[in-house]
Structures are given as structure tokens and as C-alpha cells.
């Protein structure tokens, strides 16, 4: 479930080259605040995936809503 969600989110990632320094910027449009910047595209992808994983962990801990991505859903249920 978590792996499928992360893979789906990473498929939606978009990347661009920052003109000022030639680094790469990446984000996932469906998830505000999840972005990365690195000197190479591969490093940017790795950092973006790490940021996404952290965002999911914090969202679960805070019971924050997590958007569905391509039919992949992470549901958070409070246990009594």
C-alpha cells in the first residue's frame, strides 16, 4: 500500500532545471509542499522521494488528510 502510493506519486513528479545555478528542482503537484532541489536529476529524484516519505509519515502521525493518487489511498483511522 505505501510503496504503491509512493510509486504513483513519483510518477506524477515534474522536474525543471534552475537557470541560476543549473541545479534540478522537482515537485509533486498533487501534494503541496513536497519538493526537492539538487545538483543532478538523479539526486533530485532521490531527495524528492525522501521528502515524500517524510511527508507521508508526518501526515499519518498528525491524522492529516493524504490525497488519493491514481487510485492509491492511504487511510488514517484513529484507534480507540
Please count the structural domains in the chain: 1
Would 76 be classed as within a structural domain? no
* DSSP output for 3-36: HHHHHHHHHT-EEEE-TTT--EEEE-TTSTT-EE
CB 22 within 8 A of CB 32: no
Per-residue pLDDT tens over the stretch 20-78: 999 999 999 999 999 999 999 999 999 999 999 999 999 999 999 999 999 999 988 77
The model's pTM is: 0.91
Distance separating alpha carbons of residues 29 and 80, to the nearest angstrom: 34
CATH of the domain at 28: 3.30.160.250
Would 70 be classed as within a structural domain? no
The residues, ordered by sequence, that sit 6+ positions from 52 with a Cβ below 8 Å of its Cβ are 6, 9, 10, 28, 31, 34
Q: Which domain holds residue 13?
A: 2-61
Would 66 be classed as within a structural domain? no
Q: What is the pLDDT of residue 55?
A: 98
Amino acid at each position: 500500500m505505501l510503496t504503491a502510493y509512493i510509486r504513483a506519486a513519483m510518477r506524477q513528479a515534474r522536474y525543471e532545471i534552475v537557470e541560476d545555478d543549473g541545479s534540478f528542482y522537482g515537485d509533486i503537484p498533487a501534494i503541496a509542499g513536497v519538493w526537492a532541489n539538487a545538483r543532478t536529476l538523479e539526486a533530485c529524484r532521490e531527495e524528492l522521494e525522501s521528502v515524500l516519505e517524510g511527508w507521508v509519515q508526518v501526515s499519518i502521525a498528525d491524522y492529516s488528510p493524504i490525497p488519493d493518487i491514481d487510485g492509491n489511498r492511504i487511510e488514517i483511522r484513529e484507534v480507540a
